[in-house]
Structure 1
Amino acid sequence: MNASPRLTDRKREAIVAAAIAEFRANGFEVTSMDKIAATAGVSKRTVYNHFPSKEELFAEILHQLWASSVAQLDVAYSSEHPLRDQLRGLLEAKMKMMSDTNFLDLARVAIAATIHSPERAQDMVNRLSEREEGFTQWVCAAQEDGRLRCGDPAFAAHQIQSMLKAFAFWPQITLGQPILDATSQAHVIESAIDLFLAGYEVSPHPPQ
C-alpha cells in the first residue's frame, strides 16, 4: 500500500522532467502532451491525471523555477555585519542562479511562452515579484536599523537586482551571449554594490 504514493510521485517527477526537456528543446507552443507522455514513459491519461492541461504543467515548471531561485537566497539581515558583505552574499547567490544553464534555458522558454499569452505573462511577473520580496525585506530591515535611507525599499531592491540582470541575464536570454566568467561576475557585483551604497547608505560619520 505504501508503494503506490511513491510510484505516483515518481511518475509525476518523470512527467515534469520530460516536460522540461521538451519545452527546452521545442518551446511551449510546439510541445504536446502526447510527446511529454512518450518522453516520460507514461500514458497520456497518466499525464492528464497529474496535470489537466499543458498550461497547468507549465505553471508547475515555473513554480519549480522560482522555488529554486528563492532557495538560493539567504536574505536574513544582520545588524552586526557590514552592508557590503551582506549585499555581496545576496548578489553572489543571485549571480550563481543566473549562471545556471538549466535556469537560463527554462527562463527562455517561459519568456517565449508569455509572448502569446498576456495572462501567462502577468502570472510570470507576479511570481518573479514574489520571489524578489526577500531582497526588499532585507532593504527594509537595513533602513529600520538606520543604515540605509531610501524612499521606496522595493524600488531600491529592484534597482540593484536589475543591475545584475542587465549584464548577466538579459543579454544571455535575448542575445545568446555567453555566461559571464568569474572575473566579470565579480566586477558586475562590486559595481552594483558601489552604486547602491553610494545612493542609499547612511554615512556612519556624517561631515561636521
Structure 2
Amino acid sequence: MTAPLRLTDRKRQAIVAAAITEFRANGFEVTSMDKIAATAGVSKRTVYNHFPSKEELFAEILHQLWASTVAQLDVGYTRERPLREQLRELLEAKMKMMSDANFLDLARVAIAATIHSPERAQDMVNRLSQREEGFTLWVRAAQEDGRLRGSDPAFAAHQIQSLLKAFAFWPQITLGQPPLDATSQANVIESAIDLFLAGYEIPLSPQP
C-alpha cells in the first residue's frame, strides 16, 4: 500500500501544478512567484522554501518532463527478431508517451518558456537528445549487425522519430489538436516503419 504524501510533499506538488497552469496561461516571463503561490493556495514563503527562484521551479517542471520519458524506447536490438516487430515496439512506446496529456502539458510549458531564452532552448534540446539515445543505440546495433544501411545511427533514429512527431506531437503542441485515436496512431506507426525500412533495411540473403 502506498504511503500518503507528507504535507510538505503535497504542497510541493501543488506549487509545480500551479506553475504549469500559470506558465501555460501567461508565459514564463510574465508569471510571478506571487501568482504561483496564490494559485497553489500557499504562502510565497512556502514557494521559496521549495524553489529559491522561478528558474529552479522551471527546472523542476523540465525534470518531470524528462522523467515521464524514462520508460520509453527501452527495447534492445535482438538479431533473432524481425526488424519491423522491434521497430513497432519502439514506436508504440514513443507514441504512448506523446499521447499522454501530462507529457503534452509539460512540453507546451517547456517550449513556450524557451522561446525567449536561447540558453533554455539549447538545454531542452540537449536533454531530449539524451532521452532519445535508446533509439539511436538500437539503430547502431542493427547497422553493426548488417541489417540496416547507413553510417549515422543518430540521423536515422531522428528521421523515424520525426515521422511520428509530425503527426502526434507538433500538431498537438502548436495547434492544440487532440491526440491521435488508436487507429490513426497505428497507421502513422506502420507508415513510418514502411518508409524507414524502405530506405535502410538490408534484405537478408536467402538461405542455401
TM-score over 0.5 for the pair: yes
Give yes or no for the alignment of 1:72 onto 2:72. Answer: yes
Once residues 153 and 169 of structure 1 are traced to their aligned partners in structure 2, the CA distance between those partners, rounded to angstroms, is: 22
Judging changes above 3 Å, is the alpha-carbon distance between structure 1 residues 29 and 70 closer, same or farther for their aligned structure 2 residues? same
Q: How does 1:166-181 map to 2 (within 5 A)?
A: 166-181=166-181
Which residue matches 1:57?
57
Which residue matches 1:81?
81
Which consecutive aligned stretches of 4+ in structure 1 deviate over 4 angstroms post-superposition?
Answer: none
Further displaced range: 152-161 or 30-39: 30-39
Letter in 2 for 1:205: S
Native 8 Å contact 2:95 2:185 kept in 1: yes
Once residues 105 and 64 of structure 2 are traced to their aligned partners in structure 1, the CA distance between those partners, rounded to angstroms, is: 13
Deviation of the 1:205 alpha carbon: 2.1
Deviation of the 1:25 alpha carbon: 3.3
Once residues 79 and 106 of structure 1 are traced to their aligned partners in structure 2, the CA distance between those partners, rounded to angstroms, is: 36
Which residue matches 2:164?
164
Which residue matches 1:143?
143
Per the normalisation by structure 2, the TM-score is 0.88
Deviation of the 1:111 alpha carbon: 1.4
What does the per-residue CA deviation read over 1:127-181, in whole Å, with 9 as the maximum and x for residues that have no partner? 1111111110111122222222221000000000001111111122222233222
What does the per-residue CA deviation read over 1:102-139, in whole Å, with 9 as the maximum and x for residues that have no partner? 22222222212111111111111111111111110111
RMSD: 2.2
Q: Secondary structure at the match of 1:13?
A: helix
Once residues 178 and 42 of structure 2 are traced to their aligned partners in structure 1, the CA distance between those partners, rounded to angstroms, is: 36
Identity %: 89
Further displaced range: 158-167 or 45-54: 45-54
Which residue matches 1:38?
38
Deviation of the 1:204 alpha carbon: 0.6
5+ residue gaps, structure 1: none
**Paired residues, number:** 204
Per the normalisation by structure 1, the TM-score is 0.88
5+ residue gaps, structure 2: none
Letter in 1 for 2:135: F
Native 8 Å contact 2:75 2:89 kept in 1: no
Which residue matches 1:192?
192
Native 8 Å contact 2:73 2:132 kept in 1: no
Native 8 Å contact 2:147 2:202 kept in 1: yes
Give yes or no for the alignment of 1:10 onto 2:37. Answer: no
Deviation of the 1:7 alpha carbon: 4.2
Give yes or no for the alignment of 1:23 onto 2:23. Answer: yes
